[in-house]
Amino acid sequence: AGATVSAQQDGTEILSTQTLFDGTFHLEPLAPGRYTLVATAAGRAPAVESNVIVLAGETGGARLLFLDETSPGGVSGTVPAPRGGLVLHVVSPAGLIAIVGVEPSTGAFSVPDLAPGTYALELYDGAGRVDRWPQIVVNAGIWTDVDLP
């Protein structure tokens, strides 16, 4: 109860409402289409449900789960020019917190269980640092997907 739920298309709010005492909500009238539902409440990270499809003449439901502001998130994506021997360092303002391998053929990487915050990603090969991306933001309970240029 007390949360605001909005239906968005392409980042623009179309309609919003407040949840009822039991956490349910109704967004009416909502035209048929594809929406992203975003729930916000004080002291909580936003709950997001993407690709919610509303069909003409139908009613339905969506479940939105609030996460605590400290729930871990993660970061995944790809690095440029993949090859064998690459590793990615994850650096917080306090220093190095993780080293992960990079898949040699695709450049894919994945770093789970990161506390919400801003991190630098540093790419290394056997000769030293190759590249650095200083402002990667991880939100509570959400995976940040980055394709590093």
Which pTM value belongs to this model? 0.55
Whether 139 contacts 75, CB under 8 Å: no
Is the four-CA dihedral 92, 79, 100, 140 of positive or negative sign?
A: positive
pLDDT tens per residue, range 70-87: 678 899 999 988 899 999
Helical (H) or strand (E) element with 110: strand 108-114
pLDDT tens per residue, range 8-50: 999 899 999 988 877 778 888 888 888 998 888 876 778 888 8
Strand 44-45 relative to strand 117-125, pairing: unpaired
Tokens for 107?
């450049």
